[in-house]
Each structure stands twice: as C-alpha cells, then as structure tokens.
Amino acid sequence: MSADKLSKVEKLYEGKAKVLYQSTDPSLLITFFKDDATAFNGQKKGSIGEKGVCNNSISSNIFMMLEAHGIKTHFVSKLSEREMVVKKVTIIPIEVVVRNKVAGSLAKRMGAPTGKELPEPLVELYYKDDSLGDPMINRGHAKAFNLATDQELEHIETEALKINKLLVEFFKGIGLDLVDYKLEFGRSPEGVLLADEISPDGCRLWDINSGEILDKDRFRKDLGKLTETYQEVNRRVSSMVK
C-alpha cells in the first residue's frame, strides 16, 4: 500500500507531544504532532503555537537527511502539515542522550560550566519511564533489567555517534551549534531503527554567531519568542534541504 493513501484507523497512544495512530497498513503508524509543551517531567505545561507544524517539518527533513547518509530510521513520509507516516516499532525504553558541550543536568551533576566543550561526544543512557523521572542508567542496568541486549546496546551507541557526526555538520551548516539531544530507537522486522522525533523539543541548539538559545530551553526558562524560535529553526532546516 503506498504511504500517501494511508488513513488513521485508531488512536493507539497519546503522549506529551504527539498522538500515535494505527494506519490502514498494519506495519505503519501515523504520528500527529501537537502544540503541547511540557518540561521538568511534566510539571510545567503549556502550548507553543505552530510547534507541531514546525517539529513535523524539522523531523521529516532531518530523518530524510540521515536516511540519505545510510542511517536506518522509522521515517516513511510526511503526510500533512502535522502528520508523519512511520514504521511501527517497539520502542526500546532507553533515552539515548548525546552531548557535545556541557549543559543542563550534566552541568549540575559534574559541577561544570555550561558551554564547556567536551573532548569527545558523550553518550548517556536514561531509563524511559516518566513515573521514575527518566533516571540515568548504564549498560549494566539496561542488561540487568532486560531493557536491551548487549548487541542492541552496542548498535545503538555506535549508531548514535554516527548520527552525531551527521547532525553536528548539518546544524553547523545552518549556523546552529548542536549542544546535546535525545534519541529513541525501536525494534522492527528490519532491525533496530532510529525512531521518535528530532526537533528543538529534544535538542539544545545555540546560534553559532549570537549564542542565542533556539530550542525548548526558551520554554523551560520563560525566555519568550517561542513560536518564532521553532519557526526560525524550521526555516533554516528547510533552506538546507530544498
């Protein structure tokens, strides 16, 4: 069945930023990107006008760029302004965080200054469980609690570093410093795929020239210009791929 003839069959899950629908093709889902924004494990809630439209467009373009460079992702097609067709996967419940510079919880944990360059990209694992506040784990925990196999963990970390090289270069080309970001992977019949989304919701992006924050930290820190920020990132990402 071709992806452009797909339609929604039933709602499977509503998350904080997206709604997942089963599509008419059993192996494909339709994700709907909402404007809802949350921070601090759901304690802060709000809405950012046009965020869903921007994140769908940004994520679609980034998945296409990664696919063109040999990364296997769940992306199939952009269906509409707010909808993306993706391959159905079983999400591995590990949030993979890749860091190029110190920021956020790493600054706190290590007592290091925000913005300090790391000698090499740092990959961190977090157990994806909102009720526990997504605690940081290591490979031992992931194995002991059957979150992923050794082979999957090896693949995920190698893939995350490959993805990092591509993303750092891509964002540099549009004047953005990719400080850190979160990735999710899922199991599918064709192996482990990069899933979920790549957008300013899950990335720290700083303007290379001005140092201006162009990501969800503007929402966390009440810095204003929220819609404008997502639109600006979308504008730059689109300019690179069209």
Which residues bind to Mg ion, rule: CB under 5 A? Answer: 17
Which amino acid would we find at residue 172? Answer: K
Query: CA–CA separation, 65 vs 166, rounded Å?
Result: 9
Please tell me the count of residues contacting ligand ADP according to CB under 6 A.
17
CB of 16 to Mg ion, least distance (A): 6
Q: Are residues 26 and 33 in contact, defined by beta-carbon separation less than 8 angstroms?
A: no
Residues within window 174-193 making contact with ligand ADP, judged by CB under 6 A: 184, 186
**Closest to 47 in 3D by CA, of 35, 56, 39:** 35
Residue 46 touches which member of ligand ADP, Mg ion, none, C-beta under 5-8 Å by kind = none
Nearer to ligand ADP, 52 or 206 (CB): 52
CB of 61 to ligand ADP, least distance (A): 17
Nearer to ligand ADP, 98 or 174 (CB): 98
Site for ligand ADP (CB under 6 A): which residue of 15, 49, 115, 135? 15
**Three-class secondary structure of residue 62 per DSSP:** helix
Q: Given the rule CB under 6 A, which of 84-92, 108-116, 157-165, 225-233 is the region that contacts ligand ADP?
A: 84-92
Site for ligand ADP (CB under 6 A): which residue of 6, 21, 25, 29? 29
Nearer to Mg ion, 25 or 95 (CB): 95
CA dist 237 → 39, 63, 210 (Å): 24, 12, 18
Q: Are residues 57 and 84 in contact, defined by beta-carbon separation less than 8 angstroms?
A: no
Work out whether the CA dihedral 142, 145, 146, 150 comes out positive or negative. positive
Q: Are residues 45 and 38 in contact, defined by beta-carbon separation less than 8 angstroms?
A: yes
Q: What is the DSSP letter of 74?
A: S
- The whole-angstrom distance between residue 178's C-alpha and the CA centroid of its chain comes to 12
Which amino acid would we find at residue 6? Answer: L
Q: For the chain, percent helix, then strand, then coil, each to nearest 5? A: 35, 35, 30
Residue 74 touches which member of Mg ion, ligand ADP, none, C-beta under 5-8 Å by kind = ligand ADP
Nearer to ligand ADP, 102 or 192 (CB): 192
3-state secondary structure 197-232: CCCCCCEEEEECCCCCECCCHHHHCCCCCHHHHHHH
Q: Is 237 in the site for ligand ADP (CB under 6 A)?
A: no
Binding mask 37-76 for ligand ADP (x = CB under 6 A): -------------------------------------x--
CB of 16 to ligand ADP, least distance (A): 3
Interface with ligand ADP by CB under 6 A: which residues?
Answer: 13, 15-18, 20, 29, 74, 86-89, 91, 184, 186, 195-196
